[in-house]
């Protein structure tokens, strides 16, 4: 079955998987995304690989749409906002400033809350300038009962939302193959797909308890995990 | 005429000491070289080619009429395979040392230790043996330019292999550069038998200032070839692919038992692994005498085999095209070809591996893995006798290779744009390079493309004097690493936990294995321990069945020449016009041909056979254009698409080298066959119907790597390299959306048409078959020609074990319907409809 969104009851909370790859948590009025990797184009260009500008604009545009449709007043980025040191270009700053301004205007709130769980790429790229008003938190920062992480954590007492892995699921049919980004929902943790337009993925090897929700064309589709 | 010269006399004396007499083509080549001509030596494998092109340079050196530059490079020898380079060095060195010349002959390939490479950069040896990549790499160092000005000659070995590939174009560009430095430079190519020899010469010499050229043809002696086909005692009348021919192993073993050594060629590396394994299982006492050689094996392992071939200590080497190419070793006693010969020239080249020395006959045994291959071998033999060999088509201006070259030249001392454009246009591939294409490529490597989209991007830049140079040592380093990867796919090294490396296997195979799984590789049963940092760590497995890696590109299509010859052979055998040699072969195939003729019709060269039959699956339409698998793939998609335009319907298809099957729920009404088969609009329609975007995305991988759009990544390069990882598919999507004018996207599309779909052959094929009269047959069952197509289509749908069972069941049923083999009369029973009983629609185990 295809849905533009998928509601889950998980760890006692109602969570909504969105076709864009974002996760909406209505009770705390929050949207969560992982792995934006803004400025990746610029990092590539700085190292001699000619990738054009554009994907970053698309990433923030999709984020803006999700925020507008959910009306969320808080955004949590589960790590890797920026791809690398050369990623903090004037263009990227300008994009973020504009995006924040539009979100604020749509919401009618001068200071919507944006939080970044510092990911491995962010550590290399450096924190956002304070003028952007993005608060930076360390791994394991808690929102309600859930612990928010970028990288996997082996022994959390809490239920965890995380990114970092860029999970994709491979589908194979007669004469056809597809790779789709996906949410991986286990009993104790949910892995979000990479949200950035210019990000790749790695096939995820699901455990028995995991459910896989692929996203594509704005839809969320549950993929049966093979026994 | 015997060329004169003291140098040549000394060479003749040396040859006489070894008991050799110069062949006429050697004398001819020496003379041509000495007169200053460029040239192409066109000869079957082995037989003194090396000495033919080497004698000229040696003789002038012996006469001392050279500029007095004791320590400068004089000759470059380019070979397409690293594996061949070392042997070539030995062959070039032998006369150099015997004749007392003080030349140094050295190797420079991707395998050369970096310390030696660094030394060579400072001072090149007198003679350098190298690959196209390594030569290109050399051009990227500023210090090499001045050294190469004294270069006198370049020899390109196996030019027929290189021409038609991007590495060939890379060679053309390197030659243009070398000639730019020294207009007197002589270029010689060595080529196996080829149809378009004159064109091969044109491409090699380029479009620069006119120079004399000489084409030397060593006489191929067809009668010196003893070519037999192994005829199995019984063979099914309903042949299907997927056989590896192992059922013929028993009949092959006696041929390996005698004195002397054998090369056993297979068409794929996986087949080689399996045959090697099976031979040793059947004859365990041959351990150590039977070995394996293919292109994925570690150099050291290959060299052990090559040494064994030199010493004559091996009984049998199971090998693939890795031994087609010029590794020169003493002739073996016989050559066995397992499975379809695929091409006439290829078979000739393989056969030439036996009986090298003058007047020793080549002995070739063809081992058909299914019945029609008996006819393929016969067709190949006839084509050989008539000298109908395949040609190779050189590539036209691939922009990815040009982009790479511009960066290479910028690093290697820099260039002025007008000068480099002129130079590039002297290469054959870029002779018609347009101003727009040139501008675009220059823009691409300097600013990335359209300026607004690529802020702060520079790969190379013009300085104040207008000379384009590299901008960053780190970029330069990565560019150089990238040059070598022009043609390789992502491959993982296979290595024992305790050290030794065995070779490489494509990631697409290893990625499917889990730790603990076993597989066959390098003639060993291996257990995968883990995959880390581009290496698959393995240990020997004690037992287990073991999967066999499938390498990409194993499925070569039948050549046009061979397809035509095959059609002619089938017709000949059908009408009984056979000579003595063919009698036994025809006899082996007679029952199959009888059934084909009785149930349908045996097609001739001047008609197009069409068969229609019904089954529970639906309505089958079979066409047999005999154009080869690649062309049929596109053609089937095109016909299905054209038919569905007339009325929407779902059409499934499958193809092989002989023809295609179109399957639909309702009968496909075709009123106007000539419209259906018209070659008009083929390119546009194909792009529309073949999911061209997806195909181009896949093709883009190679383009992106060569043009420096993606960074292939190297083992153990840590975080900074990982930050630059992006798949070519992702880059393709980004470019398609944000820089759709990027010409590399066009190139990927063009390559899909040319390479994946072989549109050239399709267009020619359509033009030809649309003129052939149609021979329309309605059949009650699958005919011997139709059966393998049906089986292949099924294969795509079901798991392989279930597939083998079902195909076998179906073949049995058809055999029964065909009646006893002795019977000449048509069978009476009509109840058992093979297709209806055997192939219910939609049954699938997935």
Confidence class of residue B716 from pLDDT cuts 50, 70 and 90?
very low
How distant is the alpha carbon of residue B665 from its chain centre? 39
Check whether residue B367 and residue B348 sit in a common domain: yes
Range of the domain at B500: 491-540
B62, B304 Cβ separation under 8 angstroms: no
Contact A52 B454 (CB under 8 A): yes
Domain extent for A216 = 2-223
**String of DSSP letters for B716-765:** T-HHHHHTT---HHHHHHHHHHH-TT-HHHHHHHHHIIIIIS-HHHHHHH
Per-residue pLDDT tens for B72-93?
899 999 988 776 777 789 889 9
Tell me the pLDDT of chain B averaged across its residues: 83
pLDDT band at B598 (very low <50, low <70, confident <90, very high): very high
Q: How many domains does chain A have?
A: 1
The better pLDDT of the pair B478, B442 is held by B442
Task: Report if residue B574 sits inside a domain.
Answer: no
The per-residue pLDDT for range B4-47, each reduced to its tens digit, is 668 999 999 999 998 888 989 999 999 999 999 999 998 765 66
Q: Are residues B670 and B697 in the same domain?
A: no
pLDDT at B736 over 50: yes
Nearest alpha-carbon partner for B756 in B633, B626, B627: B633
Write the CA distances from B8 to B5, B52, B54, B565, integer angstroms.
5, 11, 11, 44
B564-573, B692-701, B774-783: which has the minimum mean pLDDT? B692-701
Query: Could you tell me how many helices (H) and strands (E) chain A has, helices first?
Result: 4, 17
Which of A49, A54, A84 shows the shortest C-beta gap to B738? A54
**Tokens read off for B86:** 């070392």
Are A35 and A119 spatial neighbours (Cβ–Cβ below 8 Å)?
yes
Instruction: Please list the helix, strand and coil fractions of chain A in percent, rounded to the nearest 5, in that order.
Output: 25, 35, 40
Interface-testing mutation among A41, A42, A45, A48, with chain B (most B C-beta atoms within 10 A): A48
Q: Quick one: pLDDT at residue B823?
A: 39
The average pLDDT across B194-215 equals 92
What local confidence, expressed as pLDDT, does residue B804 receive? 63
CATH of the domain at B300: 3.40.50.300
B248/B203: higher pLDDT: B203
Compute, in degrees rounded to 10, the torsion defined by CA atoms B644, B648, B654, B655.
0
pLDDT digits (tens, 9 = 90+) for B269-291: 888 888 999 999 999 999 989 99
Of B710, B719, B734, the CB nearest to A55: B734
Domain-embedded: residue B567: no
Per-residue pLDDT at A175: 45
Let me know if residue B422 belongs to a domain: no
- Closest partner residue to B709 (CB to CB) among A43, A49, A173 is A49
Give the burial class of B190: count Cβ atoms within 10 A of its Cβ; 0-12 exposed, 13-18 middle, 19 or more buried: buried
Q: Residue B410: its pLDDT value, please? A: 97
| Residue B842 Rama label (left phi>0; alpha psi -120 to 50; beta) | left
Interchain contact, B448 vs A52, CB within 8 Å: yes
Pair of tokens at residue B89: 């060095």
The predicted structure's pLDDT at residue B731:
93
pLDDT score recorded for residue B240: 62
Taking CB atoms and an 8 Å limit, are A42 and B453 in contact across chains?
no
Lowest mean pLDDT among A113-117, A190-194, B467-471: B467-471
CB B783 within 8 A of CB B600: yes
CATH number, domain with residue A54: 3.60.21
Residues B145 and B205 in one domain: yes
**What is the dihedral angle through the alpha carbons of B309, B315, B318, B321, rounded to the nearest 10 degrees?**
30
The pLDDT of residue B331? 75
Q: Kindly list the distances between the CA atom of residue B105 and the CA atoms of B72, B96, B100, B178, B499, in Å, as whole numbers in the listed order.
A: 12, 9, 13, 19, 31
- Evaluate whether residue B801 is within a structural domain: yes
Tell me: do B260 and B357 sit in the same domain.
yes
A43:B479 CB<8 A = no
Of residues B139, B126, B125, B175, the one with CA closest to residue B155: B175
Residue B782 lies in a domain: yes
- Same domain assignment for residues B656 and B796: yes
User: Would you say residue B424 lies in a domain?
Assistant: no
> What are the tens digits of pLDDT across the range B400-428?
999 999 999 999 999 999 999 999 999 99
Using CA atoms, how far apart are residues B144 and B124, in angstroms rounded to an integer?
Answer: 8
Chain B: nearest CA to A140, how far in angstroms? 24
The pLDDT assigned to A76 comes to: 98
pLDDT at B44 (0 to 100): 67
Chain A residues whose beta carbon lies within 8 Å of the beta carbon of residue B475: 47-48
Interface of A with B (CB under 8 A): 40-55, 83-84, 89, 91, 121, 124, 173-175, 197-200
In a domain, B552, yes or no: no
Is position B566 within any domain?
no
Same domain, B533 and B649: no
Q: What is the ipTM of this complex?
A: 0.91
Other Cβ atoms closer than 10 A to B576: 7
- B674, B706: one domain: no
Among all chains, which residue has been given the structure tokens 């090559």?
B306
Furthest CA-CA distance within chain A? 53
Pick among B508, B724, B744, B800 to test the A interface (most A CBs inside 10 A): B724
pLDDT value, residue B16:
95
The domain tally of chain B equals: 5
Instruction: Report which of residues B601 and B149 the model is more confident about.
Output: B601
Pick from A195-199, B180-184, B397-401: least confident? B180-184
pLDDT, average across residues B60-65: 83
Across the range A161-180, mean pLDDT stands at 79
pLDDT score recorded for residue A92: 95
Q: How many CA atoms lie within 13 A of B65 on its CB side?
A: 9
- pLDDT for the residue numbered B691: 67
Q: How confident is the model at residue B686 (pLDDT cuts 50, 70, 90)?
A: confident
pLDDT above 80 (res B299) = no
**Alpha carbon of B143: minimum distance to chain A alpha carbons (Å):** 23
Q: How far is CA B426 from CA B146, B178, B206, B420, in A?
A: 21, 11, 6, 10
Question: Please, what is the average pLDDT of chain A?
Answer: 92
Tracing tokens 């001699």 back to the chain, one arrives at: A48
A205 Cβ contact partners less than 8 Å away, ≥ 6 residues apart: none
B699 with B832, same domain?
no
* DSSP H or E segment with residue B209: none
Angle formed by the axes of helices B580-599 and B560-575, nearest 10° = 80
Distance CA B782, CA B663 (A): 13
Residue B801 above 60 pLDDT? Answer: no
Identify the pLDDT of residue B588.
86
Q: What is the pLDDT of residues A41-82, one digit of tens each?
A: 999 998 889 999 999 999 999 999 999 999 999 999 999 999
Task: Pick the last residue of a domain from B349, B367, B385.
Answer: B385
pLDDT band (50, 70, 90) for residue B797: low
B735 & B674 share domain: no
pLDDT over 90 (residue B301): no
CB B379 within 8 A of CB B424: no
Cβ <8 Å between A198 and B739 = no
Quote the crossing angle between the two packed helices B166-181 and B197-205, to the nearest 10°. 50
Facing B734 at nearest CB: one of A121, A173, A198: A198
Name the H helices within chain A.
40-46, 55-70, 90-107, 120-125
Could you tell me which chain A residue has the CA closest to the CA of B511?
Answer: A203
Query: Does residue B617 register a pLDDT over 80?
Result: yes
pLDDT at B308 over 90: no
Answer yes or no: is pLDDT of B635 > 50: yes
Give B140-162 pLDDT, tens digit per residue: 999 888 888 889 999 999 898 89
pLDDT in tens, A193-227: 999 999 998 888 888 889 999 998 888 888 887 65
* Whether the Cβ atoms of residue B161 and residue B325 lie closer than 8 Å to each other: yes
Do B742 and B786 sit in the same domain of this protein?
A: no
**Pairing mode, strands A219-223 and A2-3:** antiparallel
Q: Does residue B619 sit in the same domain as residue B656?
A: yes
Are residues B364 and B460 both part of a single domain?
no
pLDDT tens sequence across B497-550 = 887 888 877 665 666 667 777 888 888 888 888 876 667 888 888 765 566 665
């Amino acid at each position: 079955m295809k849905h533009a969104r998928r509601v889950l009851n998980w760890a006692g909370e109602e969570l909504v998987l969105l076709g864009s790859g974002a996760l909406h948590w209505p009770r705390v009025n929050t949207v969560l995304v992982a792995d934006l990797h803004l400025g990746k184009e610029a990092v590539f260009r700085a190292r001699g690989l000619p990738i054009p500008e554009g994907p970053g604009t698309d990433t923030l545009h999709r984020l803006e749409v999700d925020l507008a449709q959910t009306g969320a007043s808080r955004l949590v980025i589960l790590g890797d906002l920026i791809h690398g040191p050369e990623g903090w270009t004037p263009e990227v700053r300008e994009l973020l400033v504009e995006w924040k301004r539009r979100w604020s205007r749509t919401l009618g709130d001068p200071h919507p809350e944006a939080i970044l769980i510092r990911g491995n790429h962010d550590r290399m790229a450096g924190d956002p300038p304070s003028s952007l008003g993005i608060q930076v938190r360390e791994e394991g920062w808690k929102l309600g009962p859930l612990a928010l992480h970028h990288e996997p954590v082996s022994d959390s007492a809490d239920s965890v939302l995380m990114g970092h892995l860029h999970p994709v699921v491979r589908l194979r049919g007669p004469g056809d193959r597809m790779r789709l980004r996906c949410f991986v929902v286990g009993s104790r943790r949910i892995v979000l797909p990479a949200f950035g337009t210019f990000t790749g993925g790695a096939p995820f090897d699901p455990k028995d308890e995991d459910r896989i929700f692929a996203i594509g064309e704005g839809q969320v589709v549950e993929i049966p995990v093979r026994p | 005429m015997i060329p004169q010269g003291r140098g040549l006399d000394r060479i003749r004396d040396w040859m006489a000491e070894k008991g050799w007499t110069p062949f006429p083509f050697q004398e001819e080549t020496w003379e041509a070289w000495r007169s200053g001509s460029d040239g192409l030596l066109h000869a079957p494998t082995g037989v003194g080619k090396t000495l033919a092109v080497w004698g000229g340079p040696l003789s002038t050196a012996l006469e001392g009429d050279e500029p007095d530059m004791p320590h400068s490079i004089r000759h470059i020898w380019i070979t397409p395979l690293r594996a061949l380079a070392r042997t070539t060095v030995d062959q070039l060195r032998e006369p150099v040392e015997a004749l007392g010349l003080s030349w140094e002959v050295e190797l420079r390939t991707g395998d050369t230790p970096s310390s030696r490479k660094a030394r060579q950069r400072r001072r090149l040896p007198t003679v350098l043996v190298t690959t196209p990549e390594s030569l290109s790499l050399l051009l990227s160092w500023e210090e090499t330019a001045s050294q190469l000005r004294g270069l006198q000659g370049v020899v390109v070995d196996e030019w027929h292999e290189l021409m038609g590939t991007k590495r060939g174009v890379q060679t053309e560009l390197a030659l243009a550069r070398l000639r730019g430095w020294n207009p007197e430079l002589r270029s010689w190519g060595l080529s196996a038998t080829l149809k378009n020899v004159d064109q091969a010469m044109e491409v090699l010499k380029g479009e620069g200032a006119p120079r004399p050229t000489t084409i030397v043809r060593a006489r191929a002696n067809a009668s010196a070839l003893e070519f037999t086909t192994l005829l199995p005692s019984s063979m099914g009348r309903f042949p299907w692919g997927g056989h590896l021919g192992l059922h013929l192993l028993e009949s092959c073993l006696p041929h390996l038992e005698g004195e002397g050594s054998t090369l056993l060629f297979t068409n794929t590396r996986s087949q080689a692994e399996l045959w090697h394994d099976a031979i040793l299982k059947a004859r365990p006492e041959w351990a150590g005498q039977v070995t394996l050689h293919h292109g994925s094996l570690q150099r050291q392992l290959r060299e052990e085999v090559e040494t064994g071939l030199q010493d004559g200590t091996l009984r049998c080497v199971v090998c693939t095209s890795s031994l087609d190419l010029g590794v020169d070793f003493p002739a073996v006693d016989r050559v066995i070809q397992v499975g379809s010969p695929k091409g006439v020239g290829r078979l000739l080249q393989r056969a030439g591996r036996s009986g090298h020395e003058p007047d020793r006959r080549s002995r070739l045994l063809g081992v058909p893995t299914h019945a029609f291959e008996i006819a393929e071998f016969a067709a190949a033999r006839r084509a050989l006798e008539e000298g109908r060999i395949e040609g190779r088509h050189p590539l036209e201006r691939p922009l990815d290779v040009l982009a790479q070259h511009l960066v290479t030249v910028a690093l290697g001392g820099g260039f002025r744009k007008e000068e480099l454009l002129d130079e590039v246009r002297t290469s054959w591939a870029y002779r018609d390079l347009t101003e727009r294409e040139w501008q675009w490529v220059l823009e691409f490597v300097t600013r990335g493309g359209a300026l607004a989209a690529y802020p702060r991007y520079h790969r190379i830049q013009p300085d104040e004097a207008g000379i384009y140079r590299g901008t960053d040592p780190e970029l330069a380093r990565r560019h150089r690493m990238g040059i070598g990867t022009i043609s390789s796919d992502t491959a993982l090294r296979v290595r024992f936990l305790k050290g030794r490396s065995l070779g490489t296997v494509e990631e697409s195979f290893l990625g499917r294995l889990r730790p603990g799984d076993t597989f066959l590789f390098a003639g060993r049963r291996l257990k995968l321990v883990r995959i880390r940092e581009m290496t698959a760590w393995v240990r020997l497995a004690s037992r287990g069945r073991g999967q066999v890696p499938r390498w990409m590109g194993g499925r070569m299509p039948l050549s046009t020449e061979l397809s035509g010859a095959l059609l002619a052979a089938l017709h000949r055998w059908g009408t009984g016009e056979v000579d003595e040699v063919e009698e036994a072969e025809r006899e082996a195939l007679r029952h199959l041909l009888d059934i084909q003729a009785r149930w349908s019709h045996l097609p001739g060269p001047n008609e197009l056979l069409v068969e229609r039959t019904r089954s529970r699956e639906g309505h089958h339409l079979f066409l047999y254009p005999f154009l080869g698998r690649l062309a049929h793939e596109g053609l089937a998609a095109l016909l299905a698409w054209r038919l569905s335009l007339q009325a929407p319907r779902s059409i499934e298809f499958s193809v092989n080298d002989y023809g295609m099957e179109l399957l639909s729920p309702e009968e496909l009404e075709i009123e106007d066959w000539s419209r259906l088969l018209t070659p008009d609009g083929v390119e546009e329609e194909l792009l529309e119907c073949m999911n061209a975007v997806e195909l181009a995305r896949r093709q883009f991988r190679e383009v992106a790597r060569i043009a420096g759009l993606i960074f292939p990544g190297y083992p153990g390069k840590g975080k900074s390299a990982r930050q630059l990882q992006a798949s070519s598919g992702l880059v393709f999507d980004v470019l398609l959306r944000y820089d759709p004018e990027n010409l590399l996207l066009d190139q990927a599309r063009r390559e899909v048409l040319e390479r994946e779909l072989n549109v050239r052959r399709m267009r020619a094929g359509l033009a030809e078959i649309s003129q052939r009269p149609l021979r329309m047959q309605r059949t009650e069952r699958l005919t011997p020609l139709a059966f393998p197509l049906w089986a292949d289509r099924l294969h795509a749908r079901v798991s392989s074990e279930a597939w083998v069972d079902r195909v076998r069941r179906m073949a049995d049923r058809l055999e029964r319907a065909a009646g006893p083999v002795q019977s000449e009369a048509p069978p009476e029973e009509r109840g058992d409809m093979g297709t209806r009983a055997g192939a219910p629609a939609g049954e699938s185990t997935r």
